[in-house]
Amino acid sequence: MKLKFNWGTYIVIAFALFITFILYFVVKVQSDSKYDNDLVVEEYYKHDIHYQEEMQRVQNAHDLAHKPIVKQLDNEVTITFPSTFDCKKITGTVALYRPSNKKLDFEVKLALNESTLHIPKTNLVGGSWDINMEWQYEGKAYLTKEAIYIK
């Protein structure tokens, strides 16, 4: 007995193979840890509620005559705060985010004796980094965001 297939049978087989491929791909991506699909910000909706406050801190930083300067040197990344501020009165944190791998993220508390914060490049893997500087000076809050690329 010889099986004969018409064009409808071939279409059904093609759809079945395509659906099998898609299901395999979805299962592989969901189960493999190297395809990390977490949100960039934990508790996204709680973060979104404070958006207006964040925009006010960004505006405060934008209004400064002298803004913090991020520089990349051979062995370190430096963040220089305005010299018009007393560096000992600056408080806050500098958060470094690695967009491709949240396990590399870290924060540095601001406790300055000089107007420059030094971050050794040994702490930074090569690639793209986002720097969020949340700092306060004499009761006024500031938020400065920068992006750098480490070679």
* Domain CATH code at residue 51: 2.60.40.10
Instruction: Clarify whether residues 33 and 48 are in a common domain.
Output: no
**Is residue 127 domain-shared with residue 73, that is, in the same domain?**
yes
Instruction: Report whether 76 contacts 84 (CB < 8 A).
Output: no
* Same-domain status, 24 and 92: no
Do 70 and 138 sit in the same domain of this protein? Answer: yes
Considering the domain architecture, whether residues 48 and 8 belong to the same structural domain is answered as no
pLDDT tens track for 103-150: 888 999 988 888 899 999 988 888 899 999 999 999 999 999 999 998
Average pLDDT, the chain: 87
pTM, 2 dp = 0.66
Q: Do residue 118 and residue 64 come from a single domain?
A: yes
Asked whether residue 75 falls in the same domain as residue 109, the answer is: yes
Q: In angstroms, what CA-CA distances link 106 with 15, 30, 98, 131?
A: 47, 26, 9, 10
User: In this structure, are 82 and 136 located in the same domain?
Assistant: yes
Instruction: Based on the fold, state whether residues 64 and 98 are members of the same structural domain.
Output: yes
Query: Cα–Cα distances in Å, from 58 out to 9, 21, 52, 123?
Result: 61, 46, 10, 27
The owner of tokens 């963040």 is 79
C-alpha distances in Å from residue 82, one per residue of 19, 39, 114, 117: 59, 34, 11, 12
pLDDT tens digits, one per residue of 20-46: 999 999 888 888 766 665 655 566 666
What domain count does the chain have? 2
Residue 87 shares a structural domain with residue 137: yes
**Do both 16 and 89 map to the same domain?**
no
d(C-alpha 39, C-alpha 1), whole Å: 57
| Residue 39: Cβ within 10 Å count | 9
55 and 99 belong to one structural domain: yes
Range of the domain at 31: 1-37
